């Protein structure tokens, strides 16, 4: 008779907190369940409280890994973008979150690791290593990376230029980059407020871009960051025009 | 105690609860002083003892808080403990890779908590005792359904067996402790068990250190000795008389049995978890509390003792 084979999980001798801090995270039944339940609730709250509207879902690639890029104005951004994805995808979607902010205390850690499944991004000490981690995530099939290339939430509602890191990440790769624009999120939950106000939030998803002809060099990276910035601005302007037309018509 | 005895308002008026608060405070102070004496007076290395002591400083207030707030929090606390203990077991054995098996057992353990809390449909005291006794039937049936629904046979006996052991031992047997919150003398039984079982452990360790010569079970737990086991048994036999105020309703026969159950059962429970760890080839079941290992390493003896004590009291005295 064969003897039994025990395969302890890779993280069996870690404390729950160490497990949450680990990245890449090991799939965990309880975390997946909690994430599913909380995300369902978050979707309901976003729909009711901030009347979230999602336009352009058809622009999301059907398969393969891809990157979503958006302007960053509030803590609603990542949950709002996650709401645009089918529920079964939320465990494979990783919003990059500043490791110096989102992984520092237990409530933030629970939010980052359990609810939004955030990838800790070291924007201060070692951004290069974090970009390598992004690439590693994208190499696995069907992973979605959500990036806010401004690097921080806007203090005043205006969009800051995109940092070139995103350019280094996608230059020369075939991963589609999908630009998104979030409107109303700043009014709903500006930096410094404790809880969101019931202000309408709209997520507009634009057509995808690819940068396989460019090389991961400084000037190319800066150009890509700028192209993406312009793409987000274009979505914003188009939406503004449509809205004016609506009110006139 | 009255019919709804287990409430926060009652806890402070309950002489048993109050006495145990005093006893535990006293023990903590004495133990702290001993460690300080060894460290500063005799310049001994007390790192290990100090880590374990710090763990107790967290565990003991948590247990008292759960009991203080009443029946619901006590049942919730022990149910959470059972869920975590099973999760550790599942992670260590690898059963955790099988999400259906793990999920069914976790639901089964949650059900133990629920039937401990709700009243039986036909009335009677709190807690649905009949359903608690029937639960292993339903959970076993559910566990065996999983490979059948998957239409898979190869290698299925191992997860089925691990899930059954996990539910019966860490869920259902341990769940008896939560059900004790429904007893008329809930404070007395729970606090006695929660203090007697770790004391038996500590006695075994101490006697083993001081007098240990002959290994108890070298293939399972090489550090345990017969001398430690006998010392722990003696301490456990004496304890029910020392804390007789906990259960004035119990007679000599019950006190003797309580001593035997804790003195022998506690050590068997310890060895049972050691046996599992030894077979897997790991040292601790988890890493929740520094100096204590995982939850299973802490509650190993309690799992074995709680249901035996429960049925002994229920048989001779009724809950």
Q: What is the ipTM of this complex?
A: 0.76
Confidence of residue A195 (pLDDT cuts 50, 70, 90): confident
In a domain, B233, yes or no: no
- The rounded distance, in Å, linking the Cα atoms of A111 and A35 is 10
In a domain, B302, yes or no: no
pLDDT over 90 percentage in chain A: 47
Confidence of residue A99 (pLDDT cuts 50, 70, 90): confident
In a domain, B198, yes or no: no
Confidence of residue A16 (pLDDT cuts 50, 70, 90): confident
CATH code for the domain in which residue A58 is found: 3.40.1130.10
In a domain, B21, yes or no: no
Choose from B80, B90, B94 for mutation: most chain A CBs within 10 A: B94
Task: Tell me whether residues A29 and B281 touch, CB distance under 8 A.
Answer: no
pLDDT of residue A100: 86
In a domain, A188, yes or no: yes
Number of independent structural domains in chain B? 1
Find, in chain A, the residue whose alpha carbon is nearest to that of B88.
A12
In a domain, B236, yes or no: no
pLDDT in tens, A63-77: 899 999 999 989 899
- The rounded distance, in Å, linking the Cα atoms of B28 and A73 is 52
pLDDT of residue B3: 43
Choose from B103, B160, B279, B287 for mutation: most chain A CBs within 10 A: B287
Could you tell me which residues are beta bridge partners of residue B70? Answer: B7
pLDDT over 70 percentage in chain B: 97
In a domain, A10, yes or no: no
User: What are the b/e assignments for A148-179, b being 16+ CB within 10 Å?
Assistant: bbbbebbeeeebbebbbbbbbbbbebebbbbb
Confidence check: pLDDT of A161 > 80 = yes
Contact B208, B142 (CB under 8 A): no
Domain extent at residue B115: 77-182
Measured distance between the N- and C-terminal CA atoms of chain B, rounded to whole angstroms: 12
Contact A130, A38 (CB under 8 A): no
Confidence of residue A247 (pLDDT cuts 50, 70, 90): low
Confidence of residue A93 (pLDDT cuts 50, 70, 90): very high
pLDDT of residue A156: 86
A vs B: CB pairs below 8 A? 45
- The rounded distance, in Å, linking the Cα atoms of A184 and A154 is 12
In a domain, A69, yes or no: yes
Contact A205, A56 (CB under 8 A): yes
Domain extent at residue A27: 16-248
In a domain, A2, yes or no: no
Q: Which residues of chain B register pLDDT less than 70?
A: 1-9, 291
- The rounded distance, in Å, linking the Cα atoms of B276 and B304 is 14
Task: Tell me whether residues A8 and B87 touch, CB distance under 8 A.
Answer: no
Whole-model pTM? Answer: 0.86
Task: Tell me whether residues B92 and A6 touch, CB distance under 8 A.
Answer: yes
Angle at A60 between CA A55 and CA A64, to 5 degrees: 170
pLDDT of residue B14: 84
In a domain, B126, yes or no: yes
Number of independent structural domains in chain A? 1
Find, in chain B, the residue whose alpha carbon is nearest to that of A30.
B103
In a domain, A77, yes or no: yes
Higher pLDDT, A243 or A4: A4
The nearest CA of chain B is from the CA of A19 a distance in Å of: 11
Tell me which residue in A7, A14, A16 faces B94 most closely, judged by beta carbons.
A7
Average pLDDT, chain A: 89
């Amino acid at each position: 008779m064969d003897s039994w084979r025990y395969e302890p999980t890779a993280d069996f001798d870690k404390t729950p907190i160490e497990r949450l801090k680990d990245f890449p995270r090991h799939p965990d039944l309880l975390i997946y369940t909690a994430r599913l339940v909380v995300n369902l609730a978050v979707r309901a709250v976003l729909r009711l409280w901030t009347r979230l509207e999602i336009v352009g879902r058809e622009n999301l690639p059907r398969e393969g890994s891809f990157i979503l890029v958006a302007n960053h104005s509030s803590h609603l951004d990542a949950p709002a973008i996650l709401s645009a994805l089918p529920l079964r995808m939320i465990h494979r979607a990783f919003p990059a979150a500043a490791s110096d902010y989102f992984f520092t205390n237990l409530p933030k850690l629970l939010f980052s690791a359990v609810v939004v499944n955030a990838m800790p991004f070291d924007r201060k000490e070692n951004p290069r290593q974090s970009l390598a981690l992004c690439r590693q995530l994208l190499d696995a099939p069907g992973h979605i990376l959500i990036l806010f290339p401004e690097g921080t939430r806007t203090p005043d509602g205006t969009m800051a230029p995109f940092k070139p890191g995103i350019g280094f990440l996608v230059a020369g790769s075939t991963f589609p980059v999908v630009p998104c624009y979030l409107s109303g999120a700043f009014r709903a939950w500006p930096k410094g407020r404790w809880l969101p106000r019931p202000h309408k939030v709209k997520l507009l998803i634009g057509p995808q871009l690819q940068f396989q002809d460019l090389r991961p060099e400084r000037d190319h990276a800066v150009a890509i960051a700028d192209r993406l910035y312009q793409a987000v601005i274009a979505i914003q302007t188009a939406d503004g025009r449509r809205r004016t037309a609506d009110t006139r018509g | 105690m009255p019919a709804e005895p287990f409430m926060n308002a009652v806890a402070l008026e309950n002489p048993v609860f109050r006495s145990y608060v005093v006893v535990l405070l006293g023990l903590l102070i004495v133990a702290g002083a001993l460690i300080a004496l060894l460290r500063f007076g005799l310049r001994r290395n007390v790192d290990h003892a100090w880590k374990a002591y710090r763990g107790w400083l967290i565990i003991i207030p948590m247990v008292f808080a759960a009991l203080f707030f009443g029946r619901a929090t006590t049942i919730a606390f022990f149910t959470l403990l059972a869920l975590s203990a099973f999760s550790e077991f599942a992670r260590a054995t690898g059963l955790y890779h099988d999400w259906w098996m793990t999920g069914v057992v976790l639901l089964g353990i949650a059900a133990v908590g629920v039937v401990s809390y709700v009243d039986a449909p036909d009335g009677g005291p709190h807690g649905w005792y009949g359903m608690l006794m029937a639960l292993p039937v339903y959970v076993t049936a559910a566990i065996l359904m999983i490979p059948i629904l998957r239409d898979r046979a190869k290698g299925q006996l191992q997860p089925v067996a691990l899930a059954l052991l996990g539910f019966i031992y860490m869920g259902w047997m341990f769940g008896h402790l939560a059900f004790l919150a429904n007893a008329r003398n809930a404070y007395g039984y729970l606090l006695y068990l929660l203090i007697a079982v770790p004391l038996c452990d500590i006695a075994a360790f101490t006697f083993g250190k001081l007098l240990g010569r002959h290994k108890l079970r070298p293939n399972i737990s090489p550090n345990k000795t017969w001398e430690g086991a006998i010392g722990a048994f003696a301490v456990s036999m004496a304890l029910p008389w020392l804390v007789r105020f906990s259960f004035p309703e119990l007679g000599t026969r019950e006190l003797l049995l309580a001593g035997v159950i804790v003195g022998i059962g506690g050590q068997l429970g310890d060895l049972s978890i050691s046996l599992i760890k030894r077979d897997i080839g790991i040292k601790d079941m988890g890493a929740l509390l520094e100096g204590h290992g995982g939850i299973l390493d802490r509650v190993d003896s309690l799992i074995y003792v709680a249901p035996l004590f429960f049925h002994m009291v229920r048989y001779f005295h009724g809950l």
